[in-house]
């Protein structure tokens, strides 16, 4: 119950920042392009900082060899999620509806990926600490790669889609992934002793900003849409239930039957029971795609996750 209460407190803390971001947008206290600034700050500064400082602090030959299976478990579970997303997404979109293929791709993404990075990382850090965050980043390594390759590729409208190779390159060569790999190398070769103290402090300070800024971004983006348009779509509630409860519950039940360690259970819960992220809003918007469905999913799932994540922990892990 102590961990359950801590998890609930952390979720309420993060949701508070979502609410602040929402009010900032509704009250026009920030310019309309503030979401672009915040997302770039996350992508180029805060997420690389938390990846770098976490790996350089915790990575060493022994810890990597001990936790190497987490990488492959993450790959296995994301592969299962992708395979499930194809048949399930067909249930939500009528083939005769306008832009049916693209809308189905939005549902594919929503069924495969939660907000495992922007929300998952501060949640793990806040509840279980930096050592568990190190293990979580290993678990989500392939999840990040698949999200930034296949995930973003299907969100590009067909008439403006990029090449497969460019998508793969973007997934492998971007600031968060590069920072993670550099951090692992620094930790493996014990090079952190050569990192100046002021730089280590700067990275730690930037890491602390990652969670609050990410949630401000989520609230700000959601605030750009009418509440009525987001809460009246029944299909959004169904896909949110699948995203937050059904799919992760099946994964956790199978892992529990297989006597999986609690760490793996926790990482699976955080990564696959997290609410829908913002890529189904921000990325399609940049390419002229439909964003209302993604905004509704993000708003509903983030609100419900305040309760569902602690309850899922209490049922399957505590």
- HEC string of the chain equals CHHHHHHHHHHHHHHHHHHHHHHHHHCCCCCCCHHHHHHHHHHHHHHHHHHHHHHHHHCCHHHHHHHHHHHHHHHHHHHHHHHHHHHHHCCCCCCCCCCHHHHHHHHHHHHHCCCCCCCHHHHHHHHHCHHHHHHHHHHCHHHHHHHHHHHHHHHCCHHHCCCHHHHHHHHHCCHHHHHHHHHHHHHHCCCHHHCCHHHHHHHHHHHHHHHHHHHHHHHHHHCCCCHHHHHCCHHHHHHHHHHHHHHHHHHHHHHHHCCCCHHHHHHHHHHHCCCCCCHHHHHHHHCCCCCHHHHHHHHHHHHHHHHHHHHHHHHHCC
Question: What is the number of domains present in the chain?
Answer: 1
Domain that holds residue 157: 2-316
pLDDT of residue 171: 64
Instruction: Summarize the confidence of residues 77-95 as an average pLDDT.
Output: 90
pLDDT per residue as tens digits for the range 222-261:
888 888 877 888 888 999 999 999 999 999 999 999 999 9
Per-residue pLDDT, 92: 84
Instruction: Considering only residues 309 and 3, tell me which one the structure prediction assigns the higher pLDDT.
Output: 309
Q: What is the CATH number of the domain that holds 178?
A: 1.20.1530.20
Give this prediction's pTM.
Answer: 0.86
Q: What is the pLDDT of residue 24?
A: 95
The yes-or-no verdict on residue 5 having pLDDT over 90 is: no
pLDDT score, position 162:
55
> pLDDT tens, 255-298?
999 999 999 999 999 999 999 877 777 666 656 666 777 888 88
Residue 284: the pLDDT is 67
């Amino acid at each position: 119950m102590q961990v359950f209460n801590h998890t609930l407190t952390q979720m309420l803390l993060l949701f508070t920042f979502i609410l602040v971001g929402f009010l900032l947008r509704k009250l026009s206290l920030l310019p309309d392009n503030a979401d672009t600034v915040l997302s770039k700050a996350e992508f180029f500064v805060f997420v690389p900082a938390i990846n770098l400082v976490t790996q350089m602090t915790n990575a060493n030959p022994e810890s990597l060899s001990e936790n190497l299976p987490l990488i492959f478990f993450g790959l296995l579970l994301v592969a299962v999620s992708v395979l499930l997303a194809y048949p399930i997404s067909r249930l939500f979109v009528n083939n005769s509806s306008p832009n049916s293929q693209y809308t189905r791709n939005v549902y594919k993404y929503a069924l495969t990926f939660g907000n495992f990075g922007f929300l998952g990382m501060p949640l793990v850090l806040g509840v279980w600490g930096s050592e568990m965050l190190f293990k979580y980043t290993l678990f989500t390594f392939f999840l990040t790669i698949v999200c930034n390759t296949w995930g973003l590729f299907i969100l590009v409208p067909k008439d403006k889609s990029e090449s497969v190779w460019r998508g793969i390159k973007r997934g492998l060569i971007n600031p968060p992934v590069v920072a993670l790999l550099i951090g692992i190398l620094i930790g493996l070769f014990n090079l952190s002793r050569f990192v100046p103290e002021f730089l280590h402090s700067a990275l730690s300070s930037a890491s602390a900003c990652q969670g609050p800024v990410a949630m401000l971004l989520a609230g700000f983006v959601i605030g750009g849409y009418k509440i009525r348009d987001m809460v009246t779509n029944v299909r959004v509630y169904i896909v949110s239930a699948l995203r937050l409860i059904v799919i992760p519950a099946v994964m956790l039940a199978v892992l529990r039957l297989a006597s999986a360690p609690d760490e793996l259970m926790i990482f699976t819960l955080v990564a696959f029971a997290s609410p829908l992220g913002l890529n189904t809003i921000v990325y399609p918007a940049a390419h002229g795609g439909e964003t209302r469905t993604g905004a509704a999913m993000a708003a509903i799932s983030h609100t419900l996750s305040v309760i569902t994540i602690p309850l899922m922990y209490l049922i399957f892990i505590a």
